[in-house]
Amino acid sequence: MPGFEVFGAEERKQVNDVLESGILMRYGFDAMRNGHWKAKEFEEAFAERMQVNHCQLVSSGTSALTVALASAGIGAGDEVIMPTFTFVASFESIMMLGAVPVLVDIDDTLTLDPAAVEAAITPRTRCIMPVHMCGSMADLKALKNICEKYNLLLLEDACQAIGGTFEGKPLGSYGDLGCFSFDFVKTITCGEGGAVISNFEHYITNADQYQDHGHDHDGNDRGAETHPHLGYNFRISELNAAVGVAQLGKIDTILDIQKKHYTIMRNAISGVEGVTFRRVPETGVENYSFLNFFLPDGETAQKAHKALLEAGVDGSFYWFTNNWHYINGWEHLRELKSMGSLPAEIKEQMQDLNTTDFSQSDHWMSRTISCLVKVGWSEEEVQKRAASMKEALSSI
C-alpha cells in the first residue's frame, strides 16, 4: 500500500482511452465514446473480484458510506453504531443523512467490541457499521449474529482492508453492504473514488439512483430518465474509473508483496519482550497493509513510537494522539461544531462524548503502534527496516 507506488503504462493507457474519446462523464454521449465505458468496466470487474452480484462506483469512500446508508433507507433519527477508532468519514457519512452516530468501544481487534455493540442497541438502532481499520477485520461472525437477533443492517466499511477475507469471503461481501475507498493512499487507487457492493439488487438499484440525482438510468436518453427518488451527486468520473481499471488488475500482486514485507517485519519484532500483536478473528486473513502491535502500556508505546521515528522508520503511527482517526482528536464532533444548524434528531439524541466512558478503547489505543507496509520497497530496504524496528523496540 498504496497503489500509486505501482503506477505505470497500464494506468496511462486506460486514462488515454478516455482522453482520446473526450468523454470524461460516466453517463451519456454514447456515440462519442469509442466503446469505452470505464466505470461500467470497473464495476463489473470489481463485483467479480469481491464475489458479489452488484457494485456501484461513487466519488469517494465517504460518499460510498452515505450512499450505502441511504440505499437502505437510513435517515433522520436512525442510529448507526460505529467504533471509536476509525476515520472521521464514518460519522460524517452518517450525520449527512440526519442519522445519529453511536460510538462504542473497540477491543483487541482494534475494531468494534461485539459486547459493547449489543449494549448500545436502542429501539432507534438501524445499522451496525464495523470499520476494518489498518488492514484487518472486526469479529464479523459475532456482529452478524447480533444483526440477525435485532434485525439490523450490517454495513462493512472495508476502505482500509481491501483484499482481506473472513470465512473465505472478501471483506465487504460478508455483510448486507460493503464500502471501499480508492483515494490516493489506498491499496488500489483511482486518485479519488469509492464503491458500494452488495448481493441485494434493491440496495444497488437505490444506490445507483441516489448517487446521480435520482436518475433511474432507464434507456439511453439521459434527459428522458425519470427520478423515482431524491438523490445527490456522488458520481465518479471516467478518468478516475480508468485508473481503477488498471489498478484492479494489479491487486493480487500488491497483496502478495504486502504479505511478504509484513511477514519480514513481524518476524523481526516478534521476539522483542513486551511486543504483542493485534488479534485477527478466527478464519480472518489480513490484507497486510499495516503491521499493528501493542506495547505493555501507553508510556512505553509513546517511547517506542519516538524511538522508531528516530531510527528512520517512517510510516509509524501512534493513533492515540492522532487528530483524524481516534475519538481523542475529534473535538469538533464532541462539541457538535457545524457550519450550519444540525438536525434536531442529532442534537437531541447524540450521546455526550465528553462524559462517555471509553476507557476500554483507551486501554487498547494507548498501547498501539501501526507501521505502514509499502509495496515499493526493495528486499534490502525491507530487511533494513525490520532490523531498525527490532533495534528500536529492543532499546525500550
For the annotated catalytic residues, the residue numbers are: 186
Cis geometry, peptide bond prior to residue 2 (ω within 30 degrees of 0): yes
Amino acid at 203: Y
C-alpha grid cell, residue 316: 509509524
In angstroms, the CA 186 to CA 365 distance is 22
Q: Find the farthest-apart pair of alpha carbons in the chain and give their distance in angstroms, rounded.
A: 69
Gap between the Cα atoms of 156 and 180, Å rounded: 9
What are the two backbone dihedrals, phi and then psi, of residue 197, each rounded to the nearest 5 degrees? -125, 155
Please provide residue 145's backbone torsions phi and psi, each rounded to the nearest 5 degrees. Answer: -60, -40
- Residue of 248, 87, 89, 86 whose CA lies nearest to 163: 248
